[in-house]
């Protein structure tokens, strides 16, 4: 290849940069181009104005907050200043520069086999993990094995956080004893992990009980202060795991944090000491932009609580531990969880979390194996070291969409916090918290049922014949309301007999609706048997297997030509329940169409199969 020429180069021609035109485009031009695409895909009527493209592509969260398809300057006009990273109101980050400009890769350990847990800790630390989170006690690692598990750990370099809902002080004392025995200054990110407020909320939301005495927080604080570590985890996943929304989780975090400030200062601590003992655990979901905005809004609102409480400005930056959402994960097609947790961990890191835990993809199935643990820790490692996501502090800052969403979440969370405080504080308002969370859970369940909130591998594109990985059971399984639980319950109890797909016409004519119907039935644990290419009633009857439930799949034209005759013939041949894929009037008992309540439809179908 000729790289250089001895000849004098010609003057460069003027270059037109295509992006320059886009930067000068108007919203109206964008709407016109977008509307044209939407009309081609039939998501926008031919006679609808171009401006309807905006509303068509705008989504609304369960909190009623709109997420627009495009960020524009007018969205952020008039918003309050966000400051700089490391400065009030800390929207852009609790620190100006994080250590190595990256978040802690915090692995979760819960194996009841102390030796196995010790081996997992060592393996993870040798392969990229630099922060540890251990569930102790009856639900995890034996408390008396903690010293052995942490024997090779340099606790002055690696933060360690413990958790035991039933004996929080036992776990706290065990970690304190390990730190004292090592005779080093523990990493300031370590945490004794008590959270009696969170336990009370979990108990009220049917996620299991535990120690709810606020005196536990005071005792833990007295243990933590001489060690230079934190004492309390304000755990927002108590609300998230029960089905709560982003705003409800944020409002709870503020109310619980304020409760701890009051309890600790009443016990004689200064407000600065109390604030310095808190760490906030926040769920990260695969809804990328809302999650980024949630972490930013959490810092902004907590900074205001700390300011009103008299905390010095340097102590108002919220220390955040992001955990990939348990409710969003599925036990079927669990490998899809790798995609969910990748998006979630990206959003938590970009949102400014100080540490991020990626739960292993097989977490819903039982105790994770070495492979899933490796994938979990490598997710953050790849984001940090290969994709260089952490090279920039607050990379989402300045995005009109993210800034608007951050402001919307912060304002809604503050209103929710005020409501809880007005009711006497979070512990006095547990019924109110439960009422709000249950309402959100029901609203989300309806979206899941209608597949408006699709769950890949479960409600959409299920593989009915997949072989799930086998895992050792948890000593006590984490309590959580998974979004997929109703579909998965049907998959766990598969229908004993299949639905017969009366495929009408050649493959090209019936394959679209046959595929739709087969996937729909599989989501409910129902297998299907297809007739194959047919040409008329007699050929379908020749393939009919005698199933009590039959689903017609074909084109509207074929339905009009011989659909009604086929329904009659099938009934005479023994079919007791006939479904048509589509809206055709052929005398069927039920219909399968896009947007239906899939759960209700599948339950009806299963009842007919069981007759």
Residue 12 above 80 pLDDT? no
Q: Are residues 423 and 558 in the same domain?
A: no
Q: Give Cα 491 distance to the centre of its chain.
A: 22
Q: Specify whether 213 is located in the same domain as 341.
A: yes
Within 10 A of 546 (CB to CB), how many other CB atoms are there? 10
Both tokens of residue 166? 């039933």
User: Which tens digits make up the pLDDT trace of 390-444?
Assistant: 988 899 999 999 999 999 999 999 999 999 999 999 999 999 999 999 999 999 9
Output the CA–CA distances (angstroms, integers) from residue 39 to 29, 316, 551, in the order listed: 16, 50, 31
- Residue 198 backbone dihedrals phi, psi, to 5 degrees: -60, -40
Q: Is residue 118 part of a domain?
A: yes
Confidence grade of residue 30 (pLDDT, cut at 50, 70, 90):
confident
In terms of domains, do 290 and 414 share one? Answer: yes
What confidence tens digit (pLDDT) does each residue in 453-491 have? Answer: 999 999 999 999 999 999 999 999 999 999 999 999 999
| Cβ–Cβ < 8 Å for 576, 587 | no
Residue 581 has pLDDT above 80, yes or no: yes
Rounded mean pLDDT, 248-271: 98
In the numeric block, the tokens 């048997």 are attached to 529
Based on the fold, state whether residues 430 and 501 are members of the same structural domain.
Answer: no
Residue 58 counted as domain residue: no
**Residue 21 confidence (pLDDT):** 52
- Are 285 and 482 a contacting pair, CB within 8 Å? no
Residue of 254, 261, 255 whose CA lies nearest to 217 = 261
Least confident of 72-76, 110-114, 155-159, 532-536: 72-76
Give 401's DSSP letter: H
Q: How many residues does the chain have?
A: 611
In terms of domains, do 368 and 515 share one? no
End-to-end CA distance of the chain: 76
Asked if 162 and 285 sit in the same domain, the reply is yes
Q: Tell me the CATH number at 163.
A: 3.20.20.240
Q: Residue 560's domain is classified under what CATH number?
A: 3.40.50.280
Beta-sheet pairing, 59-60 with 66-67: antiparallel
Domain boundary among 436, 460, 479: 436
pLDDT tens digit sequence for 297-337: 999 999 999 999 999 999 999 999 999 999 999 999 999 99
Residue whose entry in the numeric block shows the structure tokens 């009623």: 64
Instruction: Taking residues 147-154, report their average pLDDT.
Output: 96
Worst-scoring range by mean pLDDT, 21-35, 374-388, 478-492?
21-35
∠ CA 77-80-85, nearest 5°, is: 115
Find the domain containing 400 and state its range: 99-436
pLDDT of residue 26: 81
* Placement of tokens 């918003």 in the chain: 79
Residues 254 and 124 in one domain: yes
Of 438, 442, 482, 480, the C-alpha closest to 459 is 482
Quote the pTM value. Answer: 0.92
225 and 343 co-located in one domain: yes
Distance (Å, rounded) from C-alpha 576 to C-alpha 560?
22
pLDDT at 543: 96
Say yes or no: 518 and 418 in one domain: no
Average pLDDT over residues 505-513: 95
Contact present, 577 and 590 (Cβ < 8 Å): yes
DSSP H helix total and E strand total for the chain: 23, 15
- Would you say 97 and 348 are in contact if contact means Cβ atoms under 8 Å apart? no
**251 is a domain residue:** yes
Task: Place 2 in a pLDDT band, splitting at 50, 70 and 90.
Answer: very low
b/e sequence 515-534, b meaning 16+ C-beta within 10 Å:
ebbbbbbbbbbbebebbebb
pLDDT of residue 101: 67
Nearest to 247 by CA among 406, 404, 403, 358: 406
Rounded average pLDDT over 175-191: 96
Average pLDDT of 164-190?
96
pLDDT at 1 over 60: no
Is 51 a member of any domain? no
User: What's the pLDDT band for 22 if we cut at 50, 70, 90?
Assistant: low
Mean pLDDT for the stretch of residues 77-98: 87
**Rounded Cα gap, residues 51 and 68, in angstroms:** 13
CA 95 to CA 319: how far, in whole Å?
Answer: 9
Q: What is the 3-state secondary structure (H, E, C) of 433-449?
A: HHHHHHHHHHHHHHHHH
Residue of higher predicted confidence among 14 and 209: 209
pLDDT at 75: 86
- Which of 181, 175, 139, 141 is CA-nearest to residue 159? 175
Tracing tokens 């700089």 back to the chain, one arrives at: 84
424 lies in a domain?
yes
Mean pLDDT of the chain: 93
pLDDT digits (tens, 9 = 90+) for 264-293: 999 999 999 999 999 999 999 999 999 999
- 432 lies in a domain? yes
Clarify whether residues 226 and 324 are in a common domain.
yes
- Tell me the two tokens of residue 43: 């998501």
Domain count, the chain: 2
Nearest C-alpha neighbor of 347 from the set 301, 302, 305, 399: 399
pLDDT of the residue at 28: 86
pLDDT of residue 4: 35
User: Are the C-beta atoms of 316 and 356 separated by less than 8 Å?
Assistant: no
Q: Domain boundary residue among 388, 409, 436?
A: 436
Among candidates 296, 407, 400, which has minimal Cα distance to 352?
Answer: 296
- CB neighbours of residue 148 within 10 Å: 16
10 pLDDT band (50/70/90 cuts)?
very low
Residues 333 and 245 in one domain: yes
Distance in angstroms (rounded) separating the CA atoms of residues 28 and 552? 45
206-226 tens-digit pLDDT: 888 788 899 999 999 999 999
Give the C-alpha separation, 52 to 360, whole Å.
Answer: 41
Measuring CA to CA, how many Å separate 251 from each of 55, 113, 194, 294, 412?
28, 37, 20, 11, 8
Q: Is residue 566 part of a domain?
A: yes
Six-digit token string for 170: 């036992």
pLDDT at 14 over 70: no
CB 81 within 8 A of CB 398: no
Whether the pLDDT of residue 251 is over 90: the answer is yes
245, part of any domain? yes
pLDDT band for position 519 (cuts 50, 70, 90): very high
498 & 430 share domain: no
99 pLDDT band, cuts 50/70/90, is low
């Amino acid at each position: 290849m000729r790289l250089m020429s001895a000849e004098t180069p010609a003057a460069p021609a003027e270059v037109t940069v295509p992006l320059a035109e886009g930067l000068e485009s108007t919203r109206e031009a964008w709407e016109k181009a977008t509307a044209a695409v939407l009309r081609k895909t039939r998501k926008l009527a031919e006679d609808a104005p171009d401006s309807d493209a905006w509303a068509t592509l705008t989504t609304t969260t369960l909190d009623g907050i709109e997420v627009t398809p495009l960020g524009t300057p007018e969205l952020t006009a008039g918003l309050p200043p966000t400051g700089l990273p490391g400065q009030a109101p800390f929207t852009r980050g609790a620190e100006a520069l994080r250590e190595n400009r990256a978040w802690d890769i915090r692995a979760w350990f819960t194996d009841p086999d102390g030796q196995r847990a010790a081996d997992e800790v060592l393996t993870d630390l040798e392969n990229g993990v630099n922060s540890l989170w251990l569930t102790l006690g009856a639900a995890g690692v034996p408390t008396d094995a903690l010293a052995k598990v942490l024997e090779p750990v340099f606790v002055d370099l690696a933060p360690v956080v413990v958790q035991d809902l039933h004996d929080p002080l036992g776990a706290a004392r065990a970690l304190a004893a390990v730190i004292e025995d090592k005779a080093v200054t523990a990493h300031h990110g370590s945490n004794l992990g008590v959270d009696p407020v969170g336990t009370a909320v979990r108990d009220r939301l049917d996620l299991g009980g535990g120690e709810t005495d606020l005196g536990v927080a005071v005792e833990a604080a007295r243990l933590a202060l001489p060690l230079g570590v934190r004492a309390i985890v304000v755990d927002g996943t108590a609300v998230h795991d029960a089905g709560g929304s982003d705003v409800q989780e944020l409002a709870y975090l503020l109310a619980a944090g304020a409760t701890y400030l009051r309890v600790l200062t009443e016990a004689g601590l200064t407000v600065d000491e109390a604030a310095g003992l808190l760490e906030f655990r926040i769920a990260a979901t695969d809804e990328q932009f809302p999650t980024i905005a949630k972490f930013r809004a959490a810092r902004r609102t907590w900074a205001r609580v700390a300011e009103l409480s008299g905390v010095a400005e340097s102590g108002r930056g919220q220390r955040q531990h992001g955990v990939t959402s348990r409710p969003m994960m599925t036990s079927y097609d669990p490998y899809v969880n790798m995609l969910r947790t990748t998006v979630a961990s990206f959003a938590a890191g970009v949102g400014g979390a100080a540490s991020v835990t990626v739960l292993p993809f097989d977490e819903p199935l039982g105790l994770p194996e070495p492979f899933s643990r490796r994938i979990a820790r490598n997710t953050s490692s790849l984001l940090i070291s290969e994709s260089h996501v952490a090279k920039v502090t607050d990379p989402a800052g300045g995005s009109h969409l993210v800034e608007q969403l951050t402001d919307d979440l912060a304002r809604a969370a503050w209103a929710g916090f005020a409501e809880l405080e007005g009711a006497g504080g979070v512990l006095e308002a547990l019924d109110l918290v439960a009422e709000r969370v249950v309402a959100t859970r029901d609203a989300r369940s309806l979206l899941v049922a209608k597949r408006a909130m699709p769950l890949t591998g479960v409600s959409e594109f299920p593989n009915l014949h997949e072989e799930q990985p086998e895992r050792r059971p948890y000593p006590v399984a984490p309590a959580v309301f998974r979004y997929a639980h109703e579909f998965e319950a049907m998959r766990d109890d598969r229908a004993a007999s299949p639905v017969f797909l009366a495929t009408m016409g050649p493959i090209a004519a019936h394959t679209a609706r046959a595929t739709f119907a087969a996937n729909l039935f599989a989501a409910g644990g129902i297998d299907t048997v297809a007739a194959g290419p047919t040409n008329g009633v007699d050929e379908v009857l020749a393939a009919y297997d005698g199933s009590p439930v039959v689903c017609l799949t074909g084109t509207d034209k074929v339905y009009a030509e011989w659909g009604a005759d086929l329904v009659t013939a099938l009934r005479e041949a023994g079919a007791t329940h006939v479904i048509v894929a589509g809206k055709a009037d052929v005398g069927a008992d039920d219909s399968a169409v896009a947007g239906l309540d899939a759960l209700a439809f599948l339950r009806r179908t299963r009842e007919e199969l069981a007759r």
